[in-house]
Amino acid sequence: MPRISLIIPAHNESAFLPGCLEAARQAADRIGSTVEIVVVLNRCTDDTEAIARRHGCVIVREDAKNLYALRNAGLAAAAGEIIVTCDADSRMHPDSFLEILKRLDSGKVVGGGAVVLPERWSPGIVASGFAILPYLAFTGVSFGLFWFWKRDFEAIGGFDTRFVSVEDVDFAQRLKAHGRKSGRAWGTLLRTPLVTSCRKFDQFGDWYLLRNPAFVRKVFRGDDRQAADQFWYDVRSD
């Protein structure tokens, strides 16, 4: 039985999934053991499934337009006692699994997230990061690459699918509160950052978030279906 299961939601990710899987393979090599990779297919019409199968991934299907319904479906199929989640357009650090095992095995941490770096930089991307920084600081959690014990995930009821956006923040806050009950803190991977694509900036423009503050407020409210579809679920048809 694998100790770690990596959950990757995927909607038409043939352009990005190979890089995500290669980064996961390199990280698994550093710990010297097999990592189970669960790819959750979401309304795919491209070669995502074929790519996942060539890499020996476990295949799960979930058609809901809700990212964390996908994560919950992946978790239900996962065999590992430790869960890591990663978006298909992101690449983990080669030492991510090493650092996660070290943190969780210490018994001092309930789980956590990671520092997230863009694959490219621009004034608009930097300004957007500073614009949302106060909100992230207010929540007191990090995300991007979630990692936790599966038993703790089950104890808090998983991801809340009533949200259509910022479900990650809700989950992180509930996991953090759960950890406090047993004296375990929230952790952030600082030395092993996650590198993510800038496709949203490529699609909407590097200054989009700053030029559309009303839209940003809708997204961070978490219950606006139209805003979620516009930015995530219906924006890519390829």
| pLDDT score at 8 | 98
pLDDT of 57 higher than 60: yes
- CA 200 to CA 90: how far, in whole Å? 13
CA angle, 62 then 93 then 15, to 5°: 45
| pLDDT score at 236 | 62
Which helix H or strand E contains 8, and what residues bound it? Answer: strand 4-10
In the chain the domains, ranked by start, together with CATH numbers, are 4-233 (3.90.550.10)
pLDDT of 238 higher than 60: no
Give per-residue pLDDT as tens, 64-110. 998 889 999 999 999 999 999 999 999 999 999 999 999 999 999 99
